[in-house]
Amino acid sequence: MSQTVTATRVLSYLEDGKTLRSWLLTTDHKRIAILYALSITVFFFIGGTAAALIRYNLVTPQGALPSAETYNRLFTMHGVIMVWFFLVPAAPVTIGNFIIPLMIGARDLAFPKINLMSWYLFMAGGACALYALFAGGVDTGWTFYAPLSSNYAQGHVVAVVAGIFISGFSTIATGLNFVVTIHRLRAPGLTWYRLPVFIWSFYATSVIFLLATPVLAITLILLSFERIFHVGVFDPRIGGDPLLFQHMFWFYSHPAVYIMVLPGMGIVSQIIPCFSRKELFGYKFVVWCSVAIAVIGFFVWGHHMFVSGQSPYASIVFSLLSYFVAVPSAIKVFNWLGTMHKGRIHFNAPMIYALGFVGLFTSGGLTGLFLAALAADVHLHDTYFVIAHFHFIMVGGMVSAYFAALHFWWPKITGRMYPETIARGAALLMFLGFNFTFLPQYILGYLGMPRRYHSYPPEFQVLNVLSSAGASILAVAYVLPLFYLGWSLFRGERAPRNPWRATGLEWTTDSPPITRNFLVVPTVTSGPYDYADPHTKLADV
Amino acid sequence: MSENVAPHTHFQYEDARHQADSAIAGMWLFLATEVLFFGGLILAWIFCRHWNPEGFAAGAKESVLWIGTVNLALLITSSFVYGLGQAAIEAGRVRMLIWCCLLTAGIGVVFLGLKLLEWHVDLDENLWPAGPFKLHGAEADGGRLFWIFYFVATGLHAVHMLVGIVAVCWIALRARRAEFTADWHTPVTVVGLYWSFVDMVWIVLYPLIYVVGRLS
Amino acid sequence: MIWKFLPQASSSAWETDGLLIGLTLVTGAVLFLVFGLMLVYAVRYRDSSPIDRGKIAEKTFRFEISWTIATLVIFFGLFVWGADLYARLMIPPTDAVRIYVVAKQWMWKIEHQGGQREIDTLHVPVHTPIELVMTSQDVIHDFFVPAFRVKRDVLPNQYETMWFTAEKTGTYHLFCAQFCGLDHAVMTGQVVVQTQADYADWLARNGTSQTLAQQGEPLFIRYGCSGCHSGNGTVRAPSLAGLYGRPVPLSDGSVVTADDRYIRDSILQPKRQVVAGFAPVMPSFDGVIPEDDLIRLVAFIQSLAPERPR
């Protein structure tokens, strides 16, 4: 073959280097996103296995698992892995890493090597946490309250805490990368108010990464000191205060839930306009609501502590602020509905998942109103009502949004179409299985079943069995995409540039994109949701 | 062309200036996270002091004032020296930059050496907060709380110093390889920001550790 | 209906349930609206639907403002409702009967004023305000009685209080509601609400010869409290007669109420809150007096009658 033939086609990022080394030492944001996606999926299924065993245990009142200790370790690891090794990173490091540069017309993130380092840090943290798991686990709950976790718990607390600490560096690096990228690498003409809500949401998420994660870091260091040396600032025996731990812990962990959900809101803000063929209703409101959620979210942490012994005056303030933080979310829901109004709606799998997000997030969010009401929380705190509330938002909402994103951008990421019918079926199955699993838990909580119980009074059995039955349906819904998405990699129809005829610069690139994303950096002249204009380039597929 | 000035300009940037500004912005953001990190620790200090003011002050009085103060002077000097180095490279004087970096790193090493000495003294005096403790009676609890804060804060600061010393040495090495010119020396600026920050943390920690027990 | 499964057994239970019903109605209405609109739009505006979509509203501002205001108003209303009931839950009636609770991994130890002790069971009389004074010997626990709709975290090294008035006789679940280690799920018990007569019977049958306060008196002497506080000592110390429930001016100018927590803290950390006009010379008894004796001392001090007015 002649060696002077110039390629008529620039290589896609998937073809550009086929060795393991080219993947493990890549600085291409798209490849790093794939590396992350693989890791995240593994963690999701480890955490999911823990969940399956939890629901299995709860089928009988005495607990079906052999020991309480096993159960306690299972729910702790479920929480730790799902929070820090799935939900906090998932959408930002997979979808965010892949899509943000494409969506703003950049050729890569601001700091590609730091991006790669963040993946290795994530893996190191995960390795620490998994070591602790397989060496026998931890049984403090994912919230690690002192003095239980510092002075009384058996198990590998410091190893898990170290894993979380290390992964925190990974998230800070990612947040830093995103903020600088969004500020400095936007294509010409792409002003702030022309940015898709997706970008605003990931920007807000990144700011929370930067400001909240360090507080968790110092809290974990102080906790580890107390655990290792048996003396610490949370120790009431020397005049310290366990409530200081709770304040510091929740100062991070409440904004953390907005880290988890804001990307989902950004994702559905792209999908709903696309499949309604209509611009996003109230763009500026949705933008500033995202910012408002991030800001107000820093001031509500005390609503986790209404019965903790915290001052009642502080509790009252936190309750009021918690109601305030719910308002921007409500506004967004109305805006998404307004987008559908008078649209031309298509029900592809991404849209079904996105609508599932809207419904389940709204349900979960409304139950947040219950918990923000002080006197109601006195009854409901630390019961299954709380578990149902956050699973509705995190799992019903955010996991649906994550799957929505995976399906929406799958053609772009892999160059293949997924099989639509089975995908829609999986989406509906997920919605069904989810409700079946978690709706009974609201009732269980009201009736008084506390959290973190390996055994329970027999009158709670029927609802527990219902919930566990739902969980088995949910498990199927999660496993299905593994199969058909995997299948599509080999046998899926080749994807055109813009199969959904969506707006957004990422859809102007090849599917999959070339390594440097754009041969020519585009110039932007229109708003982010220009579906109404028949002369847009959307006609090209 | 800008490529000659900074051969490492990444393809996603318009030019070297664009990349340099982004790197500096990134370091500022990182320093913001560090503010929150040490801020959380200072919050713990505030509460521990509030819960047991007499014991806390009694514990603080045991800190070794001369070492802390010498270290303060050393660090401020080192930031000044590094700043001289930055001015030097802006004028294209690479050798001066290398000397300034080595001196800065050297001062940092002396700082850490004195820190180790100080810890040795503290441990000798039974000021380790766990186990047998120098203070007794009503002051013991507050004293322990202070010394927990002390070891965590100075330990974390020392780790940051170590990272800084390594970074400054790395700058010296790169300078020796003729990588920096008057037109392009972004890593020098970025490391300088970090070093100044670590210095500033010590300036904030100093009164919290050495002054609080000695007032009144 | 649902109250067959969870009775409204306390005076605040029906109010809490009222709030929960209100919240459920608001939730239901919003969900009806959201799912309803979603369904209607999904059908009406599906791509294949031939209906005339007409002009799309250009100005969205009035919608945004309307639903923002509506949301704010409703949420504020819910906040006020919840906060009001909460404030009343935080303030016990002055005539509440105090019962002491000590939590430890993994059991509840309960002591009545008359010295009656029980483990994992709490007997209380109906229609009588009860204030639980609770502490933990190890980790954080939580005393939760679903039928009463109340719970409170129980912390080590300090007192937390919680009050309720049981309105229905019967036996109700007691759960620990703050994860406390291995046997958290079986750190459960019962609250037995009896008629006043039955309760009096129970007290009589289970009593010790001495009330908690009577048991506290020899402790007051043994630990040396009477050396300064009985009025005869050489050290000038505040009088404890009639102290309980009275406002106490402190040396920093503030005024606190002498409740269980104040008395306990004064014994364990006397330098924290010094009475105005007195020198901070009282030694700390932290680590010297165990929890059980502390309860008896506090009960004794509460029982001291006020001196005759001069």
What does the pLDDT look like over A310-362, one tens digit per residue? 999 999 999 999 999 999 999 999 999 999 999 999 999 999 999 999 999 99
Per-residue pLDDT for A539 more than 50?
no
C286:B54 CB<8 A: no
Per-residue pLDDT for A49 more than 50?
yes
Same domain, residue pair C196 and C219: no
What distance in Å separates residue A69's CA from the closest CA in chain C? 6
Which other chains touch chain C, taking contact as 3+ CB pairs less than 8 Å apart? A, B
Per-residue pLDDT for A478 more than 70?
yes
Whether a cis peptide bond, with omega within 30° of 0, leads into A499 is: no
**A459 chain-C contacts, CB cut-off 8 A:** 5
Provide the pLDDT confidence category of residue B7 given band limits of 50, 70 and 90.
low
Q: Residue C142: which CATH number?
A: 2.60.40.420
Identify whether A13 is part of a domain: no
A342:C23 CB<8 A: no
**Confidence at residue B2, expressed as pLDDT on a 0 to 100 scale:** 41
Distance CA A325, CA A319 (A): 10
Same domain, residue pair C30 and C120: no
Same domain, residue pair C194 and C226: no
Same domain, residue pair C232 and C182: no
**Confidence at residue A336, expressed as pLDDT on a 0 to 100 scale:** 96
Same domain, residue pair C235 and C185: no
Identify whether C155 is part of a domain: yes
Per-residue pLDDT for C232 more than 80?
no
Q: Does A188 contact chain B (CB < 8 Å)?
A: no
Residues 6+ apart with CB under 8 A from A309: A243, C152, C153, C155, C158, C160
- pLDDT tens by residue, C215-224: 888 999 888 8
Same domain, residue pair C84 and C9: yes
State the residue range of the domain holding A197.
26-508
**B10 chain-A contacts, CB cut-off 8 A:** 108, 112
**Confidence at residue A1, expressed as pLDDT on a 0 to 100 scale:** 47
C60:A139 CB<8 A: no
Size of interface A-B (CB pairs under 8 A): 109
How many CB atoms lie under 10 A from the CB of residue A69? 18
What distance in Å separates residue B53's CA from the closest CA in chain A? 11
Identify whether C117 is part of a domain: yes
Per-residue pLDDT for A535 more than 60?
no
Identify whether C236 is part of a domain: yes
* Chain C (183-222) residues lying within 8 Å, Cβ to Cβ, of chain A: 183-186, 188
Same domain, residue pair C195 and C102: yes
DSSP label of B70: H
Q: Of C137, C171, C206, which residue is a domain's last?
A: C206
pLDDT, greater one: A532 or A450:
A450
Mean pLDDT of A28-37: 96
Same domain, residue pair C101 and C195: yes
For residue A74, what are its two tokens?
A: 């299972």
**Confidence at residue B51, expressed as pLDDT on a 0 to 100 scale:** 85
* Chain A (371-400) residues lying within 8 Å, Cβ to Cβ, of chain C: 372-379, 381-383
* Chain A (246-265) residues lying within 8 Å, Cβ to Cβ, of chain B: 248, 251
Identify whether C180 is part of a domain: yes
Nearest-by-CA chain C residue for B138 = C284
Q: Does A324 contact chain C (CB < 8 Å)?
A: yes
Q: Does C158 contact chain B (CB < 8 Å)?
A: no
Q: Does A25 contact chain C (CB < 8 Å)?
A: no
Identify whether C298 is part of a domain: yes
Provide the pLDDT confidence category of residue C212 given band limits of 50, 70 and 90.
confident
Cα B71 from chain centroid?
11
Same domain, residue pair C85 and C103: no
Nearest-by-CA chain C residue for A139 = C181
Per-residue pLDDT for A220 more than 60?
yes
Identify whether A517 is part of a domain: no
- pLDDT tens by residue, A276-291: 999 999 999 999 999 9
B37:A240 CB<8 A: no
Q: Residue A32: which CATH number?
A: 1.20.210.10
**B138 chain-A contacts, CB cut-off 8 A:** none
Distance CA A212, CA A256 (A): 7
Identify whether C48 is part of a domain: no
Provide the pLDDT confidence category of residue A538 given band limits of 50, 70 and 90.
very low
Q: What are phi and psi of C46, to 5 degrees?
A: -60, 155
How many CB atoms lie under 10 A from the CB of residue B46? 10
Mean pLDDT of A142-160: 93
State the residue range of the domain holding C202.
97-206
**Domains of chain B listed by start with CATH number:** 11-46+73-215 (1.20.120.80)
Match 């000191």 to its residue by tokens.
A225
The interface pTM score, or ipTM, of the predicted complex is 0.94
Average pLDDT over chain A, rounded to an integer: 94
- pLDDT tens by residue, B9-40: 788 888 888 899 999 999 999 999 999 999 99
* Chain C (250-309) residues lying within 8 Å, Cβ to Cβ, of chain A: 269
Identify whether A78 is part of a domain: yes
**Confidence at residue B131, expressed as pLDDT on a 0 to 100 scale:** 83
Q: Does A448 contact chain C (CB < 8 Å)?
A: yes
From the list C37, C85, C178, the residue facing A382 with the nearest CB is C178
Distance CA C144, CA A384 (A): 14
Q: Of C206, C232, C249, which residue is a domain's last?
A: C206
Of chain B, the percentage scoring pLDDT greater than 70 comes to 96
Identify whether C54 is part of a domain: no
Q: For C174-207, give one letter per residue: b (16+ CB within 10 A) or e.
A: bbbbbbbbbbbbbbbbbbbbbeeeebeebbeeee
Distance CA A323, CA B22 (A): 38
Query: Which helix (H) or strand (E) is A234 found in, with range?
Result: none
**Confidence at residue A503, expressed as pLDDT on a 0 to 100 scale:** 93
* Number of domains forming the structure of chain C: 3
Q: Of C90, C111, C130, which residue is a domain's last?
A: C90
* Number of domains forming the structure of chain A: 1
Q: Does C27 contact chain A (CB < 8 Å)?
A: yes
Distance CA C137, CA C101 (A): 11
Identify whether C53 is part of a domain: no
Provide the pLDDT confidence category of residue A401 given band limits of 50, 70 and 90.
very high
